[in-house]
Homo-oligomer: A and B are copies of this chain.
Amino acid sequence: MRIAELSRTSGVPAATIKYYVREGLLPSGVRTHHNQSDYNDEHVNRLRLIRALVDIGGLSVGTAKELLTVLDSGTMTARESLGHVLYALGARRSPVGDEQRDAATRDVASLLERRGWNITETSPARATLVDACAALRQIGHADVVEAIDSYAAASETIAATDMAVVAKKSSIEQMTETAIVGTVLGDTLLSALRRLAQEHVSATALPQD
C-alpha cells in the first residue's frame, strides 16, 4: 500500500509516518517507481505499537525507539532482553531532595535486603526509587516511604503476573514485545486501577466530613 493508505488504515498522519521512518522507529517502505514507497501489514502493526507506547504509555519517541531497537535486535536470551527493556525504561529525572539522599539510599538498600531482591548497583529503577524516597523525605512525607514494604509486596505480585504472561510466549521476540507492552501500557493500566481502587477504598477508609 502507499503512504496515504497506510495513514488511513493506521490513523497516523503521513507526516508523522515519515518522521517515524526518519527517526528509525519504522522501517522504510520498498521504493517503487515515481519515487513512491510501498508499505505492508507489518508497517501497520508497527505503527499501532508505536502509537500505543507513545499515546497510551506516555513514552517519548526516543524511549520508544530504544525499546523497538531491543525488540528488533533478536540475538539475546529472554532475560538479557528483559534487562535491556527495563534499562531503556529507566530513570532520567532530575533528582530533588539532595539533603535526604543518604537516608533514601539506606531506605532502598535495606528494603532490597529485607525482600531478598538481588538488583544490580547500576539499575536505573533503583536510582529512581532513591530519587522518589529522597524527594518524599524532603517535602515532609517520610510516612509514604515508611509504607514501602507494603508497596514492594504488592509490586512483587504484579511482577509475578507480568512474568507469567511473558513466560507463556514461545519465542524471544514475542517475550520481548510482551515485556515492552506489558510494562509500558501496564504502567498506565496499573495507575488507572490504583485510582479506581482508591475511589472504592476511600468510601470506607476516609472520614465522611
A residues within 8 Å of B by Cβ?
11, 45, 48-49, 51-52, 55-56, 58, 77-79, 82-83, 86, 89-91, 93-98, 112, 115-120, 123, 125-126, 128-129, 131-133, 135-136, 138-141, 143-144, 147-148, 150-168, 175, 178, 181-183, 185-203, 205-209
Residues of B within 8 A of A143 (CB): 165, 168, 178
Q: Would you call A160 and B205 a contact (CB within 8 A)?
A: yes
Copies assembled: 2
6 pairs, CB–CB < 8 Å, chain A vs chain B: A56-B135, A77-B208, A86-B199, A141-B178, A144-B186, A187-B191
Q: Would you call B52 and A125 a contact (CB within 8 A)?
A: no
A152-B208 contact, Cβ under 8 Å, with A139-B181, A183-B198, A185-B132: no
CB < 8 Å neighbour of A118 from B115, B193, B203: B203
A190-B192 contact, Cβ under 8 Å, with A96-B56, A185-B136, A199-B83: no
A88 vs chain B, min Cβ distance (A)? 11
Residues of B within 8 A of A45 (CB): 139-140
Q: Would you call B154 and A196 a contact (CB within 8 A)?
A: no
A91 vs chain B, min Cβ distance (A)? 7
CB < 8 Å neighbour of A49 from B51, B139, B166: B139
A126 vs chain B, min Cβ distance (A)? 6
Q: Would you call B200 and A183 a contact (CB within 8 A)?
A: no
CB < 8 Å neighbour of A201 from B55, B163, B185, B194: B163
Q: Would you call A198 and B82 a contact (CB within 8 A)?
A: yes
Cα–Cα, bound, A11→B183 (Å): 33
